[in-house]
Every structure is written in C-alpha cells, then in structure tokens.
Structure 1
Amino acid sequence: MSDDDLVQVGKALSSLKDNERFHGVLQQPSVSKAVRHWAGIERLSPEECEDWQSDGQIMFVLAELRRLEHCCRKAGMKVPLHTVLACEDELPLPDGRRLRGGKLENAAVQSTLEDLPDLPPVDPGAWRRTLVWQLVTMVLAAVLARVGVWYQEEEFAKLAMNATSAVGVLGPGGFLECKAIVSRSTMQSSDKISALHQWGELKAASGHCRLGHVTCQWMWRNCCDLAKTLTAQLCGLL
C-alpha cells in the first residue's frame, strides 16, 4: 500500500462526492438494488439482472464504482461503499491517517494542534507582583538573620560569663588571678596549668564571638542596603 495509491483512492472518492448525477441516479430503487447486488450486500437472481445491460443509468453507476474499485485494489483495500453512499470523501485509514478532499492527511498531528489550549493573556502587572514578593522575601531573610545575630550574641555572652566566673579575671599587670586561690603559698602547679588552659579557651571563645558579631553585622548592613535599593527601584517603577 503506497501513498500514491491511497491518494488515487481519495481523488476517486472526491470525484464521486462532487458528481451530482451519480448521487441523483443512486436514489432510484432499481439502481440501488443493482449497487447492493454488485457489493454483495443483497444478491439478486439472474433473471433480475438480465436487463441491466440495456439500462444506461445502472451501467453509469456501476462504471463509476468499478473505477473506484480499481483504485482500491491497487491500494490493497476494500471499496468504502458506505462512504460513497453517504456522499463523503473522508475515510480514516488503519494506520491513523485519513483521506480527505483527495489528500492524505495525518489526523493525529492535526487533532493535537487543534486541541492545544490558547495561551493565557499577558498580565502587565505580573512582573511588579513578582518584584514585590522578591523584596518581601529578602527583607524577611534579613530580619531572620538579625534575629539569629541577637541569639548568637546572647549565647556567646553567657559562655563568656560562665568561663570568667570559673577561671578568674585579669589583674592590673595582665596576669590571671584565680578566685579559687586563697593562699599564694598553697598554689599548685597543676592548678596554674588548668587555669591557663581555661583562660586560653576563654580567649578563643571571645575571639569567635567578636568575629561572628562582625560578620553578622556586615551581612545585616548589606541586606539593609539591598532592601533600600530594591524599595527605591520598586517605587520608581510603580
């Protein structure tokens, strides 16, 4: 079954559809019986078929049907008599394609294109709403970052106070004086070493606290500057 043979079948169907004489003659009872006999739908006796050779209308209709039958045989298909009697030229094929108007069409692709929904109308204010939501999100992130900074500062302050109360405070000369030392003469070397280790941990914690505080302040300033810039741009656009 080639596409050219299918196209010939489609052209034959279109020709019969546009043939007013053909469909006018088909309305006669004698011609209708002859067509049904020719198609094998309702066989007639030989006596009823003797006068067909002398009937010009019956021979005209059968000649047109034989022309269509010849095209269908080349295409490897049966004569679509129901399409002919319905005065149509559209015929669906087993592979999903269809014959329509004497042409071979891909019905699946066409139906897909026809069923596509229309695009929604463009909303001119959509980008403004998007910008507002982005601004709100960034401001909220900045507020959460600031709350985190306050929480970290409080935790570091508690840690420093606990370490100071456990170890001691610095004297005027810069040396560590432990609160737990009552008598200078009874100070043991192990207590000194332990105090020095704890003081080192205190200094490290204080350094981390100052570093975290400076970093968080820098992030907060940048978030505030960015929020101000976006707010100014938004006010100018709106």
Structure 2
Amino acid sequence: MRAALFVTCVNDALYPSTGIATVRLLERLGVAVDFPDAQSCCGQPQFNTGYRRETEPLVRRMVRAFEEYEYVVTPSGSCAAMIRHHYPKFGDRAAASLAARTYELTEFLADVLGVTDVGAYFPHTVTYHPSCHGLRVLGLGDRPRRLLDAVRGLRLRELPGAEECCGFGGTFAVKNSDVSVAMGRDKVDNAVSTGAGVLCGADNSCLMHIGAIASRADAPLRPVHLAEILASTEEEPWS
C-alpha cells in the first residue's frame, strides 16, 4: 500500500518529530509513504477567519499536490477536518475527491489498515485529551483510545472533563486570550490530577497550547503527540 503524508504547517515548522514518527509508524506497518514537496497550508486559518477568497489558491495547490494518491494521511484532526468538511464547499470536483481520500492518522490505522495493536512500547503513565475537531467534526470516537490501550507498558489514566475544549481554537486564542488561557489552565489542572506524566493528543496545536500553560505553571506534565507514542518500540524508544 502507498500513501502520501500531509504533515501540516504546525508539524513542519514546530514539531517535525511528529511527521518523522508518522512515517516510521506507517512504514513499520508496511505502508510506502511519499511526501509531496508541493504541499502547503491547507487554508484552515484563512477559512476559519472568513477569508474564503484567499483560501482558494491553497485548496487548488493541495489538490494538485495530492492528486495521484489513493490515500492521504495526516497527524492532525483539525487539518483533516478542514479538507474533509470544507473543501467540498468550494464546488470543485477535484477538491471533493481529495476530501474523500484524506484520513486522520488514527482513522487510517483503525479503518483502512484495520489495526489497533501497532507493536508500540511506551512505559509511561499517560492521559489522553481528545481535541475538538477530532472529537466533534471527524467523530474519531474511541479509535485513539483503542490504539493507546494496545500499547505495551502504557498506563492510561482517565482525563476529567476530557471533552472540554483546551481553549486553543486557532485564532480564538489570539482574539480571546484571557478566556483561552483560563480554559487551558483547567485542562492542565485536570491532567495533573490524574498523576500522569504525559499528556497525549492527536493535534499538536492543542498540545502546544496546553504545554505552554503547563510549562509556565511548572506542572509535571509533558505533551506528546499520539504518533510519537505509537512509533515508539523497545528497539527504538521515544526520548
């Protein structure tokens, strides 16, 4: 099987380890992974802020970059949701086609590859935050939890108020910073209360927000993307 990685802007610029982990994981499961150099921002920041016209060139560029691939995989629920739910609104058959071929990582693992045990080993206590786009827009359900449950050595703790937004929300964090920070503090407090040392999520934008608040509060909590946990093995452990 062959798939293309859509790494996303946040991962490319700030969290390249997540992209590397995604490739490592998929290749371990027998998937040949390509990385189209022409990929760019999916247009989510512009579209969510109301700049539809400015989003259109990015949509066309993404369509061209991934037109030859049957499967496009991304370690980001928010960017997957942008392509899946908003690209068809541009009235372009090619954009709608890309939407139908795009999968968030846990969807691809559970629904396309049909696996939950990916051979991972991660001997840490972990709590999981389900980001809003994955939870409410994509409907990921228990897919991430099933993948985490199958990781050897991992101790999963239930996160109080798990379904509450962390407060990031893209430009919401800029326009409503006080509310955003207050929501983030609640999320950090709930995560720390579990006794877990690792906060896992499937969107680095949310983990960035939560991690920054945890760092300022000197909270004993390290944010780690789900892909990095799933890519970790006894032979090649996460560091």
Shorter-chain TM-score: what band?
A: under 0.3
Higher helix share: 1
TM-score by length of 2: 0.21
For the pair shown, which has the larger CA radius of gyration, 1 or 2?
1
TM-score by length of 1: 0.21
